[in-house]
Each structure stands twice: as structure tokens, then as C-alpha cells.
């Protein structure tokens, strides 16, 4: 067992520095099976707790993996200087399963468990491409999650969240029109959360994108007429995305 400062990648990989002679480092050389818990230490009993548990394998990072680990670590901890801790080694954790606990978002005593998959061609997790619309009758984004989305908590203004979509899509919906498609409940048997669907029309490209730390975002333009085929061909499989595309079709936008 070990407590450590860590950094992470967009593939939910965690990296940390540790002495190779430490007991936990020796354990990894003997057996790579690893479990990690991340939580806010300022939480108090009886509050809305949150945390995440990750299960997978850990090992010393070498070669390109070491360079990637050091880059992630230095990005989060600005005081770190390369080569300043020569007695330590970088270690990398790669998850196969994640268990999320977030009482504010998913309710008390509820856990969400997910398996982490990787694309067979590259060894990396599938990359989501965030879309945009423009005046040429196209929609950007072909992947498992081809539409932008934002989390809206109770009491927040939904229109602000729609405008902030431009951070990911490189387009500004304020330049055109934002039309509400409808609202649906994705988990009516268990939760009260709702999905509010919109379509942004006549957007303009305004910047090169401002992705968050560790976020890998790319944009691909696709003709609107092609979107239905992507769904029927199985290239778009996310249920919430399919429901939103269906609303757009009913309203005559696709």
C-alpha cells in the first residue's frame, strides 16, 4: 500500500514517482496486479462523497512510456524538474476496470462500474471526436460519441452550457441559432437526470480549440445526409447520441 502524488492521461492511465527499493515497488516487480483509490481527503462523513477506484496493472515505465510519464507528471506538477530525483523511477498504471462513486451526480450508495477497452490497432482507448455544424450543411464528428455534450447541474443555466460547447467544437453557436430539440430521461428506472438536446445552426469557426488537460479532441466534417447511414451501419452506437439524432430527424434537421 502506498500514498503518492500522481498525474493521469486521457486513457485513465496514472503515473507516479517512487523509489525502486520501496516495498510497493518490489511488489509490482513480483506481481503487476494493482488497485488504486482516488478521493478528496477534505470530505466529511454524511456529506455528498465522491471517489473513484481503478483496477489494472502497474509497472516501471521504460523507454517511450517513461518519457510520456514524465511529460504528464511535469504538466501537473510545475515544480518538478527533469533529472532532479534520480533515485526515483516513474511507474505507470493501466486500468482494465473503473468504479465511480459520486453521490451528487448519481445518488447515494450508487456505484457505476465500467470496463476500459483499447483499440486493437494502436493499443490506445478509442478516441472521441467532437463535432461542429457550419453553414455548408455538414456535421462534424464520426466516432462512438460524435456529438458534443456538457453536464448541467440543478439550478445552472442551460443556455450557458450550450454556448460553452464551442470550447470543444472550435465553432461558436452564438454566431447562428441554437434550437431546442427536446428533453428525454436516459435512466428513468433509477435516476432523475435528463438529457436536453439542441441543434446549433450556421456556426462559425472561431479558434483552434481549447481542450482540457489530457483531452484528445479532433474534428471531422461529415455531410448531414450521411449521419443516418452512420447510425444504421453501426458506426454510431451510443444510445444517447442515437436518441438525439432521432429527435433531429423528427424535427427535419437530418
Closest C-alpha to 140, from 149, 129, 132, 148: 132
Residue bearing cell 444504421: 232
Domain holding 71: CATH number? 2.30.110.10
Q: What is the mean pLDDT of residues 12-41?
A: 91
- What does the alpha-carbon distance between residue 173 and residue 166 come to, in Å, rounded to a whole number? 7
| Structural domains counted in the chain | 2
**With 60 as the cut, is the pLDDT of residue 129 above it?**
no
> 25, 19 in Cβ contact below 8 A?
yes
Q: Are residues 57 and 144 in the same domain?
A: no
> Cell numbers 466516432 correspond to what residue?
143
Contact residues for 130 (Cβ-Cβ < 8 A; gap 6+)? 140, 141, 148, 168, 169, 217, 218, 219
Buried b (16+ CB within 10 A) or exposed e, 98-112: bebbeeeebeeeeee
Residue 231 forms part of a structural domain: yes
Does one domain contain both 24 and 104?
A: yes
Same domain? For 217 and 166 the reply is yes
What are the CA-CA distances from residue 42 to residues 3, 7, 9, 45, 47 (Å)?
A: 16, 19, 24, 10, 11
Whole-number Å distance between alpha carbons of 212 and 161:
16
Split at pLDDT 50, 70, 90, the class of 215 is low
What is the rounded distance in angstroms from the CA atom of residue 149 to the CA atom of residue 138? 18
**Chain segment 188-210, per-residue pLDDT in tens:** 877 777 888 888 877 776 666 56
- 25 plus 69 within the same structural domain: yes
Q: What is the structure's pLDDT at 131?
A: 35
Residues 161 and 70 in one domain: no
Structural domain boundaries, residue 69 = 6-115
C-alpha cell at 131: 463535432
pLDDT digits (tens, 9 = 90+) for 223-245: 887 888 888 888 888 888 889 88
Cell numbers describing residue 37? 483509490
Residue 128 lies in a domain: no
Selected residue with higher pLDDT from 214 and 138:
214
Please tell me the pTM assigned to this model. 0.48
CATH number, domain at 150? 3.90.79.10
Q: For residues 106 and 158, state if they share a domain.
A: no
Q: Which residue has cell 452550457?
A: 161
123 assigned to some structural domain: no
Spatial separation of the C-alpha atoms in residues 60 and 16, rounded to whole Å: 10
Boundary residue ending a domain (84, 115, 146): 115
Q: Please indicate, yes or no, whether residues 107 and 144 belong to a single structural domain of this protein.
A: no
Amino acid at each position: 500500500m502506498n500514498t503518492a502524488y500522481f498525474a493521469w492521461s486521457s486513457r485513465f492511465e496514472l503515473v507516479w514517482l517512487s523509489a525502486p527499493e520501496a516495498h510497493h515497488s518490489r511488489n509490482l516487480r513480483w506481481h503487476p496486479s494493482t488497485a488504486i483509490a482516488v478521493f478528496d481527503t477534505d470530505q466529511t462523513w454524511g456529506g455528498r462523497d465522491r471517489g473513484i477506484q481503478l483496477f489494472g496493472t502497474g509497472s516501471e515505465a521504460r523507454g517511450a512510456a517513461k518519457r510520456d510519464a514524465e511529460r504528464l507528471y511535469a504538466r501537473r506538477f510545475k515544480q518538478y524538474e527533469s533529472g532532479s530525483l534520480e533515485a526515483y523511477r516513474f511507474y505507470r498504471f493501466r486500468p482494465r476496470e473503473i468504479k465511480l462513486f459520486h453521490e451528487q451526480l448519481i445518488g447515494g450508495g450508487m456505484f457505476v462500474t465500467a470496463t476500459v477497452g483499447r483499440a486493437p490497432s494502436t493499443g490506445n482507448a478509442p478516441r472521441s471526436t467532437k463535432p461542429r455544424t457550419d453553414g455548408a450543411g455538414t456535421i462534424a464528428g464520426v466516432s462512438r460519441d460524435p456529438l458534443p455534450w456538457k453536464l448541467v447541474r440543478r439550478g445552472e443555466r442551460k443556455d450557458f452550457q450550450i454556448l460553452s460547447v464551442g470550447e470543444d467544437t472550435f465553432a461558436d453557436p452564438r454566431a447562428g441559432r441554437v434550437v431546442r430539440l427536446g428533453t428525454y430521461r436516459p435512466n428513468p428506472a433509477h435516476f432523475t437526470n435528463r438529457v436536453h438536446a439542441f441543434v446549433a445552426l450556421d456556426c462559425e469557426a472561431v479558434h483552434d480549440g481549447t481542450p482540457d488537460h489530457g483531452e484528445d479532441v479532433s474534428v471531422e466534417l461529415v455531410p448531414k445526409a450521411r449521419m443516418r447511414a452512420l447510425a444504421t451501419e453501426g458506426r454510431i452506437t451510443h444510445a444517447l447520441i442515437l436518441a438525439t439524432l432521432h429527435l433531429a430527424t423528427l424535427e427535419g434537421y437530418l
